[in-house]
């Protein structure tokens, strides 16, 4: 089970931190990712992180502004979002690919390779 939190409304240029708690699977063999879906658009990848060594990947649209990280002791993945823009407004979803070893898939496209999803948390930038 994945449970996200931390969304909200913020002005352009502001920051937010999203959290995703993973329950029921505490092994490092997994990819964790953040995806988002803006109104009228397809779901797209934002960032991913490999549970084993913390290698992270980012979509070009968020590189240099967003940072994905993990706390394995808390089984939690974070997404720190800085310099937020109105185009970052979307529902943000946490996703997990369990039993995975090696580099995570590039965070792009709708993320059909991920087999567990959270309920989403809304981020609104005005």
Residue in 33, 74, 70 with CA at minimum distance from that of residue 54: 70
pLDDT per position as a tens digit, 23-39: 888 778 889 999 999 99
pLDDT per position as a tens digit, 64-109: 999 999 998 999 999 999 999 999 999 999 999 998 888 899 898 8
pLDDT per position as a tens digit, 36-60: 999 999 999 999 999 989 999 999 9
- Nearest-angstrom CA–CA distance, 41 and 36: 10
């Amino acid at each position: 089970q994945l449970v996200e939190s931390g969304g909200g409304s913020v002005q352009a240029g502001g920051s937010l931190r999203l959290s995703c708690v993973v329950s029921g699977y505490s092994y490092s063999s997994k990819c964790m990712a953040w995806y988002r879906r803006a109104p009228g658009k397809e779901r797209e990848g934002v960032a991913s992180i490999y549970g084993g060594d913390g290698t992270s990947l980012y979509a070009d649209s968020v590189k240099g502004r967003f940072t994905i990280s993990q706390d394995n002791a808390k089984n939690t993945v974070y997404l720190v979002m800085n310099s937020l823009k109105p185009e970052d407004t979307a529902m943000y979803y946490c996703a997990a690919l369990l039993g995975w070893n090696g580099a995570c898939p590039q965070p792009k496209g709708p993320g059909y390779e991920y087999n567990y999803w959270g309920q989403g948390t809304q981020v609104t930038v005005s």
